[in-house]
Amino acid sequence: MDAFHRPTDLDEALRILAAEPVRIAAGCTDLFPATEAKALPGPILDITAVEGLRGIASMDEGLRLGAATTWTDVIRADLPPAFDALKLAAREVGSVQIQNAGTVAGNLCNASPAADGVPCLLVLDASVELASSRGRRELPLSEFLIGPRRTALEPGEMMTAITVSTEALSGRSGFLKLGARKYLVISIAMVAARLVVEGGTIREAAVAVGSCGPVATRLTALEGALTGVPVGEAGQVAQSDLVEPFLDPIADIRASAAYRREAATEAVRRVLADLTRTVPKAAA
C-alpha cells in the first residue's frame, strides 16, 4: 500500500518531501476529481495537520495566508476592503462543502487557467512563499504561474503561504465571474479589480482577467489609462482595445474565443462601474 504521511510539523513535512516524490494533498477538491481511482494514487503528503500552516495573520509587512487556509477561512476573516474580490470569489468557489475543504494555495498550485483565486490575488500583487529542505524563497504570484497546470514549484518544494504587502492593502476590490449558470460552475471569464481613489480621482488601478489565456493576466495598459482619471469616467476608459488584445482565450465547450474576449471586456466595465459607484463619499 502507498504511504500516507500526515505530519504536524513543517520541518517533518519538508523532510518527507525531500526523501521521496510524494503527492501534496490539502483539501483534495482538485486532486480527487482528477483521479478515477477510489483512492488517491500515492505516496501522499497531507499538509492539513501541519501546525501554523492554516490561518490569516497580520504582520508588519502586510498579510500572510498560510497554505492550509480554506476558502471558508477567507470568507469569515476580518480583512481590509482590498480583499473584497477574494472574498467574493471565495463565496462562489463550488459549494459550502468545497469552500470548507478547498484551500486558496491549492487553487494556485493546481494552476488551472480558470482558478478564481488567481485574478483576485494578482490585483493584490500577492507573492507566494515556497519551502523545501534546501531553504525558503518568495516569488511574485505572476512568476509562480508559468502555464496551464504549470508552476515554478521545484521538486521537493511546497507552498507555505501567500503574502500581500501593506502597500497593496489600500483601496477596494471587486470580482465578477461569468459561467454558464450562477453556481457550481467553471468560469468562462472572470475579472478582479482594485482601485485606490483619492479626492474623486483614481490614484492606482489594478485589473486582472482569468479564464481568457493560459494564465490569468493583469491589464497594465488599462491600469495606466485609468490612473489619474475621475472615478466617474472609469467606464468610458475601459474600452475593448485596452482589454481584448491582451487576452489569449481558447475556444472550448463553454465558449468561443471571441465570446470570451467580449465577455471579459463587459465584465471589466461592470466591476469598475460597481467599484466606482460604491466609493465611500469621504474617499471620493
Ligand X SMILES: Cc1cc2nc3c(=O)[nH]c(=O)nc-3n(C[C@H](O)[C@H](O)[C@H](O)COP(=O)(O)OP(=O)(O)OC[C@H]3O[C@@H](n4cnc5c(N)ncnc54)[C@H](O)[C@@H]3O)c2cc1C
Judged by the rule CB under 6 A, the positions of this chain that interact with ligand X are: 23-31, 33, 47, 67, 92-94, 98, 101-103, 105-107, 109-110, 115-116, 153, 158-159, 184
CB of 159 to ligand X, least distance (A): 4
Nearer to ligand X, 71 or 246 (CB): 71
Nearer to ligand X, 29 or 276 (CB): 29
Nearer to ligand X, 84 or 223 (CB): 84
Nearer to ligand X, 12 or 233 (CB): 12
CB of 174 to ligand X, least distance (A): 17
CB of 115 to ligand X, least distance (A): 4
CB of 190 to ligand X, least distance (A): 9
CB of 41 to ligand X, least distance (A): 12
Nearer to ligand X, 33 or 280 (CB): 33
CA 150, CA 146: separation in Å to the nearest integer? Answer: 6
Q: Which residues contact 97 (CB under 8 A, 6 or more apart)?
A: none
CB of 169 to ligand X, least distance (A): 22
Nearer to ligand X, 171 or 210 (CB): 210
